[in-house]
A and B are shown apart, each in its own frame.
Chain A
Amino acid sequence: MLRIINGRVYDPTHGKNGQIEDIWVEDGKIVSAPDVDRAQAQIIDATGLVIMAGGVDIHSHAVGSKVNAARKFRPEDHYGSTYERTSHTRSGSGYTVPSTYITGYLYAKMGYTTVMEAATAPLLARHTHEELEDIPILDMGVFVTMGNNHFIMECIRDGDMEKAKHYVAWLLNATKGYAIKVVNPGGVENWKWGRNVQELDDEVIGFGVTPQQIITTLAWISDELGLPHPPHIHGINLGRSISARTTMETMAAIEGRRSHFCHLQFLSYGKQPGTLHRSEAAEVASVVNMQPNLTVDVGQIVFGPATTMTSDAPLQYGIHQRTGNKWINDDIENETGGGIVPIRYSRHNAINAVMWRTGLELFLLINDPWQVFLTTDHPNAGPFVHYPQVIKLLMDRDYRAAMFERINPRGRKGALLPELEREYSLYEIAIITRAGTARALGLKNKGHLGVGADADITIYADLDDKEEMFSHPRYVLKGGEVVVVDGQIMRELQGRTLYVAPSYDPGIEAHIRQHFRENYTISFDNYSIFREHFPRRGMIRCP
C-alpha cells in the first residue's frame, strides 16, 4: 500500500483543481482511504508538489514497421543521441526515432504512462506487437489503418454495410487493434496508380467509391460496434492550401457521429496571394467548437529535426519532391501504403513559421480543452520529448510572444496569434495531456485519479518554468510501482497492450478466406494474432 500525501491534485475528470488531498494506492489501483492499517503504507511526501494522472498520448508513431524502417533509414539521427545501459536498463539510441527501450524510458521520464501507436497496417500488425514486447513501462494500443482497405471498399461499392461491419470487427480482433485509423482515404490506393485524391467525392481508382463514403461508413461501423475510440482520421489534402476547406467539409459530413481528427494543424491551411499558405485555424476551430462529438489533436510543430512518416504515401512522395530529401515508400497489398522523409523545421523558414503558429492558434481558439489534445504527431512535427515546450507556449504568453518575434517575418504577416492572449491553466493542461485524451480514447481507468483508476501517477515540482516542470517530474508511478525518481528509471516493468475485441458473425470468414486466396500472398490461417504469440506482455481487452 502506498500513500501520496499533501500534494495538489489536478484531476479534471473529477473536477479537482489543485486541492490538497491524499492519494491511496494498492495492488496497482487507486483506492479509497483504508479503514485500517494506514501505518503500513509506504509514504511519498508530495508537499508543494503537483499531482496528475500519468500522461496519455493519443497519437504517436512509436513502434512498428514504418517506425523501424525510419530507425534503420536514419543512423544520422541516432549518432548524437545515445543512451548507456545500466544495471537495470538497456542501451539504445535515437532522437526523432528512438529505439524501443529508449522510447519507453523517455516517455516515462516525461511522466507519460499510456501511448497510442498512431498507425499500423493490418498485414504488418505482428511486427508492431513484437516491438511492443520491447517497450518497457508504457501501456499501449494500436490504431489499425483501414481507409484504403480493399475488402471494405468493395463492401461500400456493393452497398453491403453489414458485411463491412463484420469485416472491421474481425480485423480488429485479428490485429489486436484498439481503434480504426483512416489515412487519406482513397488517396493511398490511388497512389498505386501514381495519383491521389483531392475532393471528398473523387473516385478511388478500381473501386468507384469516394473518400466521403469511406469515412462515413467507418464512422457508422465504429458506432455500431460500440468502439471506445471513434475513427481516428488523417484527412485528405494534408499540407495543401485546400486542406482547411476539405477538413471542414469532412467534419460536416461526419456530423452527429463521434470522430477524432488527428494532427489537425497540418490540415488547416488556406490560400492567399503568393506562395505561402495561410493559417485557417480560426475557421477550422469554429467548426470544432460547434461539434461537441468531435475531438482533435494538434500535431504542433517544434522547430528542429523531425522525421515525416505516415501511411499517406502520395504525401510522402510530395515531401520528397519538395525537399529533395531521401525517401522511403512502401505499398502494402490490399490495405494501405506509406512513406518516410527526414525533415527539419526552421523558424527562419516562412512556411514552417506559418505551420508553427497554425497549431498554436488551434489550441487557443478551440474553446473546450476536452476537445483539443497536445501532440506533435511524433515524429512528424517534432519529437515527443518536446511536449513540455509546447506546454510552456500554451501557459506563458510572454514566452509565446518572444518566440513569435523570432520567426520568419513573412511567416508573421497577417498572423492572428499575437492577438490571442489566452493562457492555459494547469487544470487545462491536465485535460489536454491526460484527462481529455483518456476520455476520447474511452479508457475508463486512465487519465484520472479516482478510485478504481490504474495507479499511473505523475508528481511534478511546481516550477515557474513550465517546460522545466513538465520535462522533469519528481516521481512517476505506473500501476502503483515507482518507476521514475528525479529523472532516473528505478525499475523496468512490462507494459500492457490494450485492444478491443468486438464480436462479429463468423460467417464473414468464408468471404475473407476467398479474398485472401484471390489477392494476398499470405495464408488466411497465418494472418491473425493470438495472445499466446506474445507471452511476455500482458494484453488487456477493452472496454
Chain B
Amino acid sequence: MKWRNSLGENFILITGRTVKQATGLHKGKDSDAYRRATALVEMNAADMARLGIGEGQVVRLRSATGQVEMPAHTGTVPSKMVFVPMGPVANSLIGPATEGTGMPSFKGLTVEIEPI
C-alpha cells in the first residue's frame, strides 16, 4: 500500500521513560493521564516545519510492524529522530523480533511519518 501523502522519509524511533509516563501509570493504565502521557511523539522543530506539521497536530507513524496515530510536539531530538514514551502506543510499532536475545528493538526502529 502506498501512502498518498508519504514523503518517503525515514526517521529513527526512540522509545523510553518520561516523568509524565511514570506518574501517569500510578493513576492507572486506563487513566487519561497515562493515555495522554504515552500517546505523543516528540519531533525536531526543523523536521516538523519541513513536513508541514503544526505543534499538537496528529500524525501517523508507520513501521514494518504497524501504524498508529498521535499528536506531535517539538522536542529536543536531532533531525530525523523521533521520541515516543514507552507504552502501548509505542509498542504497536515495535515488532517481536529479539535476534535471539529476548530484547525487541525498542530503540532505533525505522519509521515513516505522515501528517494527518
Per the CB under 8 Å rule, do A and B touch in the complex? no
Listed in ascending order, the chain B residues whose CB lies under 8 Å from chain A are none
Listed in ascending order, the chain A residues whose CB lies under 8 Å from chain B are none
